[in-house]
Amino acid sequence: MDDLRPLASYAAVGAWLDSLRQHWGGDPANDDPERLDILEAFCRFADNDPDEIIAGCVLVRDGEKRIRAKGRQRYAGLIAEFQSGVEGSRLRRAKWGNTVRSFLIHNGILLQSGVQGGEPGSEMRDEGD
Amino acid sequence: MEFKEVIGRRRSIRFFEPDKPVEREKIQKILEAARLASCAVNAHWAKAIVVERDKLPEDKLERMKTPVAALNIELAPVHIYWYADLGVVNRIQGSRLKELVDVGALAPTHGWSHKFVDDFVYPQILKPMTEGPGYPIGAATDCGVAICQALLTAFDEGLGGCLSSFNGAIAKELFHPPDDWVPLYVLLIGYPAESWEAGGQRPRPPFEEQYHDGEYGKPFARDEKVVEELMRAKMIQEPASPNNPKRTEEIKRLAERLGLPL
């Protein structure tokens, strides 16, 4: 998508960074220089801006906010596809996927992707232990 | 481990060592503990289907994942699916009560006899009970007692565990429980990947808010000396606190190791 504004100007990005700061401390906008770049890459991949992504996972019924199961499934699938297309190590692919998952999670969209490369002997395990 | 410490040490564990199998004998001990639980009319509604994760085809494992427990199901090597067998009372028709009479657990001193069971207890109390709306609640309560004993035994054996709801319809397709088994919880079991403290004892409502003395509205007073005694016995332990740096670091480390989002 071509008309993406600076990411920090989107409400959902602000909510993400605020929640990250509140939960983990630090300066989420700067302590991982790739964080916003990864989300931007995903937005272009999905052809949605950050607020549209969150809106696609939520519906309001009878005045109550609910998670839209189909929307969440769609984005879970897109994230997996996005992640698998990242060049580099398995660890790097997992990081890119999990960064986008974190964006959804901190906007209230429950998402459990499972272990990303935790098999014995995988590079994730080798680097993590 | 002493009994009170087992209670104190139990936490819902959500990070399991995915590749460390649980010994079959430990699974049996967990089930043995459930079988010995107290149970109304000796009916023993609690039934379980033990599923070893790695023996389940991947597509079936995927189907059992729920939005909230998907990761736990993936990490835990053993899943114990608990059911309330609602048909048991009408199958046994008081026979297990008569076993209690025979062994002297229910004695004539308390009014019990085979004839009382046959003529009154089963036809006039138990059978109508199974037709009432409160029956599943009573059965599930008894199952909860058994499941709790199983859960505590897991911790006594050095394992971690967590109870989660599961999709009964999918479980029915995959594991074929009888039609009159009502799904309750799945007990996910494995060796903890997190420290046994897991951030500390989880927040609980105030004691006096939960328990009443003689009548509703009169709180059961909490004696601090008893609290201190239970702390010495390790039943009451260091409570979990918000933004605990040690816990935060632990979660970050686990996330990095297992490839999980933060």
Print the domain residue range for A92: 7-105
Whole-number pLDDT of residue A1: 73
Percent of chain B with pLDDT strictly greater than 90 = 98
The secondary structure of B126-146 as a DSSP string is IHHHHHSTTHHHHHHHHHHHH
pLDDT of amino acid B165:
95
Does A16 map to a domain? yes
Lookup result for tokens 């609980």: B204
First CA to last CA distance, chain B: 34
Q: Which residues on chain A are in Cβ contact (under 8 Å) with B19?
A: 119-120
Q: What is the reported pLDDT for B67?
A: 87
Q: Which chain A residues have a beta carbon less than 8 Å from that of B71?
A: 112, 114-115
Q: Is residue A110 assigned to a domain? A: no
Mean pLDDT over the full length of chain A = 87
Residue B220 confidence (pLDDT) above 90? yes
Evaluate whether residue A116 is within a structural domain.
no
Query: Does residue A124 form part of some domain?
Result: no
Look at residues B122, B154, B107 and name the one whose alpha carbon lies nearest to residue B41: B122
A83-116 pLDDT, tens digit per residue, is: 999 999 988 999 999 999 999 999 999 988 778 7
Q: Which residues on neighbouring strands pair with residue A90, listed in sequence order?
A: none
Q: Identify all chain B residues contacting A20, using CB atoms and an 8 Å cutoff.
A: 262
Structure tokens at B127: 């059978």
Average pLDDT over residues B31-55: 97
Place of tokens 């700061």: A21
B243: left (phi over 0), alpha (psi -120 to 50) or beta: left
How close, in Å, is residue A113 to chain B by CA atoms?
A: 7
Number of folded domains that form chain A:
1
Q: Report the percentage of chain A scoring pLDDT > 70.
A: 90
What separation in angstroms does the CA of B43 have from each of A105, B37, B103, B111, B151? 44, 11, 16, 20, 21
Distances (CA, A) of B244 to A31, A116, B8, B226: 20, 26, 19, 27
Q: What's the pLDDT band for B236 if we cut at 50, 70, 90?
A: very high
Contacts of B108 (CB under 8 A, 6+ apart): none
- Confirm whether A120 is domain-assigned: no
Mean pLDDT of B201-211: 96
Averaged pLDDT, B26-50: 97
CA atoms of B230 and B157, how far apart (whole Å): 21
Give domain status of residue A92, yes or no: yes
Please give the residue that has the higher pLDDT: either A129 or B258: B258
The amino acid at B228: E
Is residue A1 one of the residues assigned to a domain?
no
Q: What is the pTM of this model?
A: 0.91
d(CA B235, CA B84): 30
Whether A117 is covered by a domain: the verdict is no
Whether A123 shows a pLDDT value over 60: the answer reads no
Q: Which of B20, B65, B247, B257 to mutate to test the interface with A (most CBs of A within 10 A)?
A: B257
Dist CA A109 CA B231 (whole Å): 39
Q: Return the biggest CA–CA distance within chain A.
A: 50
Q: What is the pLDDT of chain B when averaged over all its residues?
A: 97
pLDDT in tens, B158-191: 999 999 999 999 999 999 999 999 999 999 999 9
Give chain B positions within 8 Å (CB) of A115: 18, 71, 74-75, 258-260
- Token match 């070893």: residue? B52
Residue B203 has pLDDT above 50, yes or no: yes
Give the tens place of pLDDT for each residue, A31-71: 999 999 999 999 999 999 999 999 999 998 888 988 898 99
* Helices and strands in chain B: count of H runs, count of E runs: 13, 4
Contacts of A84 (CB under 8 A, 6+ apart): A93
Task: Choose, out of A115, A116, A119, A126, the residue to mutate when testing the contact with B (most B CBs < 10 Å).
Answer: A115
